[in-house]
C-alpha cells in the first residue's frame, strides 16, 4: 500500500513541496532539508517507485513533479477508518448516555 511510502516525514515534505509547483529540480528540493542531495535523491527514488513522483532530464538537471493520483488510495483508506471511528465514538457516546 502506498501509505508506507508517505509514512516518512521527509517524503511527506517532498510531496508537499511538489504539490505547490509544476516541477522542481533536485537542487531546489534539497535546500529545504538538512541532508545532502544523495539522501534527498533516495527519498525521491522511493516516491518515484511508488508512482507518486515523475522525473525528467533537462540538460544535466533532473526535475521532479508530483503525480497525486495514487494518493487517492491513501485518502480512501483513511476515509474508511474515519467512518469506522466516527461510528464507534457515536456508539460509545450512546452507551454512556444510557448508563447515566
**Digit-coded pLDDT (tens) for 38-69:** 999 999 999 999 899 999 999 999 999 999 88
Please report, for the chain, the start and end positions of each structural domain, with discontinuous segments joined by +.
Answer: 2-99
Q: Following CA atoms 57, 60, 66, 70 in sequence, which dihedral angle do they give, to the nearest 10 degrees?
A: 50
CATH value of 2-99 in 3.90.1150.10, 1.10.10.10, 1.10.8.190, 1.10.3720.10: 1.10.10.10
pLDDT at residue 4, as a whole number: 66
Q: What is the pTM of this model?
A: 0.72
Mean pLDDT of 89-97: 81
According to DSSP, the residues that pair with 57 across neighbouring strands are: 62
Is the pLDDT at 70 greater than 70, yes or no? yes
Q: Give which of 18, 15, 40, 17 is closest to 27, Cα–Cα.
A: 40
Question: What is the C-alpha to C-alpha distance for residues 65 and 57, in angstroms, rounded to an integer?
Answer: 12
2 pLDDT band (50/70/90 cuts)?
Answer: low
Amino acid at each position: 500500500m502506498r501509505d508506507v511510502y508517505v509514512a516518512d516525514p521527509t517524503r511527506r515534505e517532498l510531496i508537499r513541496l511538489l504539490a505547490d509547483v509544476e516541477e522542481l529540480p533536485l537542487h531546489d528540493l534539497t535546500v529545504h532539508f538538512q541532508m545532502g542531495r544523495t539522501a534527498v535523491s533516495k527519498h525521491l527514488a522511493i516516491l518515484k517507485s511508488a508512482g507518486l513522483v515523475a522525473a525528467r532530464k533537462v540538460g544535466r538537471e533532473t526535475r521532479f513533479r508530483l503525480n497525486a493520483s495514487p494518493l487517492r488510495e491513501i485518502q480512501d483508506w483513511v476515509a474508511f477508518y474515519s467512518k469506522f471511528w466516527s461510528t464507534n465514538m457515536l456508539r460509545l457516546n450512546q452507551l454512556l448516555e444510557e448508563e447515566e
